[in-house]
A and B are shown apart, each in its own frame.
Chain A
Amino acid sequence: GENVEQHPSTLSVQEGDSAVIKCTYSDSASNYFPWYKQELGKGPQLIIDIRSNVGEKKDQRIAVTLNKTAKHFSLHITETQPEDSAVYFCAAARYNTDKLIFGTGTRLQVFP
């Protein structure tokens, strides 16, 4: 069946450094790729998403890149801050479907 692999499972960085999380998907028909941030005691919150007609999207300190040929996409966080510490989930879906296939999550810790 369809699946999404996410790496690394944990990531520790120093405040101000960059963090990169990578995901690989199996369904070549996927064309919607959201990233969610989940803080302790809260549900996942959408932070950025990308559709397959673009290769990169940026929103302030976060960016997502997509390589459809290789079937992988990545989340980049620059100038990390302690409040970026959370679990990040990638997902993939075919457009106009409700079936988001999630990765297993990356626990990011940003040390001051």
Chain B
Amino acid sequence: ETGVTQTPRHLVMGMTNKKSLKCEQHLGHNAMYWYKQSAKKPLELMFVYSLEERVENNSVPSRFSPECPNSSHLFLHLHTLQPEDSALYLCASSQEWGNNEQFFGPGTRLTVL
């Protein structure tokens, strides 16, 4: 295992629901990331946090809202999603912001009905 855990592993939600994805890293890293992985497309970086501060937001719709309460935990709050948001959402961490080596969690498979 990589030391990065994600819950839930699978999530089905309606377009009007509110849900949250959780990520926890046990590596003592200071930077955490959210990626979206869709079929036939490259991994898309969504958000980057360094020492609990957001340092990058790659033009992600406001229906996705990240939260980083401490350097070990990262959340992605979901609200009023669209069917095209169905994808695998991956969390990753690295030793420091700007350190290229990233360790990924297993992902949450999200289906929006």
Contacts and interface: CB of A to CB of B under 8 A. Distances in A.
B101 A49 contact: yes
**Interface of A (DSSP majority class):** loop
B42 A32 contact: no
A98 B98 contact: yes
A4 B44 CA distance: 12
A30 to B, nearest CB: 11
Nearest to A9: B40
Interface in B1-15: 2, 4, 6
B98 A96 contact: yes
Contacts of B104: 36, 43-45
Contacts of B102: 46, 98, 100
Interface in A10-49: 32, 34, 36, 41-46, 49
A36 B90 CA distance: 14
A23 to B, nearest CB: 11
A97 interface: yes
Say which size band chain A's interface belongs to. 20 to 34
B31 A98 contact: yes
Contacts of B101: 34, 46, 49
Contacts of B98: 96-98
Contacts of A41: 106
Given A46-B101, A93-B100, A101 B2 contact: no
27 contacts: A32-B100, A34-B101, A41-B106, A42-B107, A43-B4, A43-B104, A43-B105, A43-B106, A44-B43, A44-B90, A44-B104, A45-B2, A46-B101, A89-B43, A93-B100, A96-B99, A96-B100, A98-B33, A98-B94, A98-B97, A98-B102, A100-B43, A100-B45, A102-B42, A104-B41, A104-B42, A105-B42
Interface of B: 2, 4, 6, 31, 33, 40-43, 45, 48, 55-56, 90, 92, 94, 97-107
Given A96-B99, A99-B45, 13 more contacts: A3-B42, A43-B90, A43-B92, A44-B43, A44-B90, A46-B101, A49-B100, A93-B100, A97-B100, A98-B48, A98-B100, A104-B40, A104-B42
